[in-house]
Structure 1
Amino acid sequence: MADTAQRSMHNQQKHNKERSHAQSYGKVWLFFVYYWIIFGIGCYLGQYLPDSWRQPLSFALLALVLITLFVKRARKYGIVISHIYTIVLGLLSYATFTYYLQSLGADVFYKNVALAIVAFIVFGLIGFFLIRDASSMGKYLFVTLIALIIASLVGIFIHNPILHTAIMVVGLLLFLLYTIYDFNRMKRGAYNARELGFNLFLNLIHIIKYVLRIADRLRK
C-alpha cells in the first residue's frame, strides 16, 4: 500500500515536472514567434526607408551589438535593446531580401530559405537530443563571434573575395553551432524564456541571410 502511494506520488511529481518543462518551452517559442512578428513589421516598413539612412542604421546596429556584448549594464535593458535591434534589423532586411529575390529568382530564393530553416531544425534537434551538455561551447562561440564582427568591419574597407567568402562560411557555421548551443540550453533548463526566444530568432535570421549570401556568391 505504501509502495503504491509512493509510486503514485513519484508519477505525479514526474508529470508536474514534464508539464512545467512544456510550459517553459512554450514560452520560448511564443517569444520566438513574437520577435519574428516584430521583425516582419520592421521589414514591411523597410520599403519606405530612404537609402541614405541604411548605412547609418547599419553602423548603429553594429554599435548596439558591441555595446550589448561588452557593457554589462546594457544587459539590464535587454528587453528594450532586443526590440530596437529587431525593428532596425527588419528595416534593413527589406532591401537585403529584395536584392536576393531579384538576384537569385523567386524559386531559388525560397528554396534556400527553406534549406536554412531545415538546417536550423536539424541542428536544433542535435543540440536537444544528441548532446548532453554543450555549455562549454559558449566561450568559444563568443570569441568566434567577436572575430567575425572584426572581420566584417575589415571587409567593409577591403573588398577581397576570399575574405568575404570566409566570413560567409564562418558566419553560417557559427550560427548553426549557436543553434545547437541554445537548444541544449533549453534542454538543460539554463535559460530565460524571452532571452532564449530572441536568441533563437537571431540564429535563424542569420542562418537564412548567410545561406542566401553563399547561394548568391555561388551563382556569380
Structure 2
Amino acid sequence: MARKYDERMAWLYFLYYWVIFGIGAYFGQYLPEEWRPTASAMVFGILMISIFVRGFNRSGPVISHLYAVLIGLVSYGVFENFINDFGAGTFYRIILMGIIVFIFFGVIGYFFLRDVRHWGKYLFIALLVLIVATLLNFFIDLPYLTLSLTIVGLILYLLYTIYDFNRMKNGKFSPREMGFNLFINLLVIIKRLLRLYRYVNNRR
C-alpha cells in the first residue's frame, strides 16, 4: 500500500516538475539571447556538481526547482527555433512520439523485467562517457560525432527510463527523486528526437 502511495506521489512530482519547467520556458521568451549561454552553463554546472560532489542532490527541493527553471529558460530558444524551421505540427508530433516511446520503455521496465538495479552503475559510466565525448565534440564539432552522440544519448535515456520504472516497481525510490528523474528522462528523450529530426532533414 505504501509503495502505491509513493508511486502516485512520484507521478505528482513528475507533473509538478513539468509545470516548473513550463514556467521557466514561458519566461525564456524574455531571456536575452546573450544570456542563454550563461543559463546553459549553469545547467551543465549543476549536472557536473551532482555527479562529482558527494552529498549534492540534484533532485533536492531547492536544486531541482532551480534546475527545472533553468532548463525551461534554455529550452524555449531550442523549441522556438525548431518550430520556426519545421512548423508547430511537426514539433508536437515529435513530442507525442517522445511520450509514446517513454511510456513504451517504461512499460518494459515495470512489467517485463524483474530487477535491474545492477544497471545503475553501468548507466552512470555510460553517462560520464557521453558527457566527456560531448565536451570534446564542443571543441572539435564533427557532424557525424554529433549524430552519434545524439543517438547514444537517446538510447541511454531510454535505458534510464526502463531502469527508473523498474526501481519504482520494486519500491527502490523516493517520490521526489523518482518524479524528477522521470521528468528529466522524458525531456531528454524529446530533445534528442528533435535534434535527430533536425539532423536528418538538414542532410537531405
Q: Which amino acid aligns with 1:108?
A: T
In 2, Cα distance between equivalents of 1:110 and 1:76: 29
How far off its partner does 1:52 sit? 1.0
**TM-score normalised by structure 2 residue count:** 0.96
Partner of 2:88: 106
1:63 aligns with 2:48: no
Partner of 2:199: 217
Q: Aligned ranges for residues 45-124 of structure 1 at < 5 Å?
A: 45-75=27-57, 78-124=60-106
**Partner of residue 184 from structure 2, selected from 194, 202, 205:** 202
**Partner of residue 165 from structure 1, selected from 141, 147, 154:** 147
Percent of paired sites with the same residue? 46
Q: Secondary structure at the match of 2:48?
A: helix
Q: Do the aligned partners of residues 31 and 77 (structure 1) sit closer, same or farther apart at CA in structure 2, a change above 3 Å counting?
A: closer
Q: Secondary structure at the match of 1:49?
A: coil
In 1, Cα distance between equivalents of 2:167 and 2:154: 20
Partner of 2:109: 127
1:177 aligns with 2:159: yes
Q: Secondary structure at the match of 1:73?
A: coil
CA RMSD of aligned residues (A): 1.2
1:116-174 CA-partner distances (Å, limit 9, x unpaired): 10000000000000000111111111011111111111122112111100110001001
Paired residues, what number?
202
Q: Do the aligned partners of residues 133 and 151 (structure 1) sit closer, same or farther apart at CA in structure 2, a change above 3 Å counting?
A: same
How far off its partner does 1:73 sit? 2.7
Q: Secondary structure at the match of 1:74?
A: coil
Q: Note if contact 2:59-2:177 (Cα within 8 Å) is conserved in structure 1.
A: no
**TM-score normalised by structure 1 residue count:** 0.89
How far off its partner does 1:76 sit? 8.6
Larger helix percent: 1
Structure 1, 157-166 or 68-77: larger mean CA deviation: 68-77
Structure 1: where are the runs of 5+ without partners? 1-18
How far off its partner does 1:56 sit? 1.5
In 1, Cα distance between equivalents of 2:103 and 2:137: 30
Q: Which amino acid aligns with 2:158?
A: L
Q: Which amino acid aligns with 1:197?
A: G
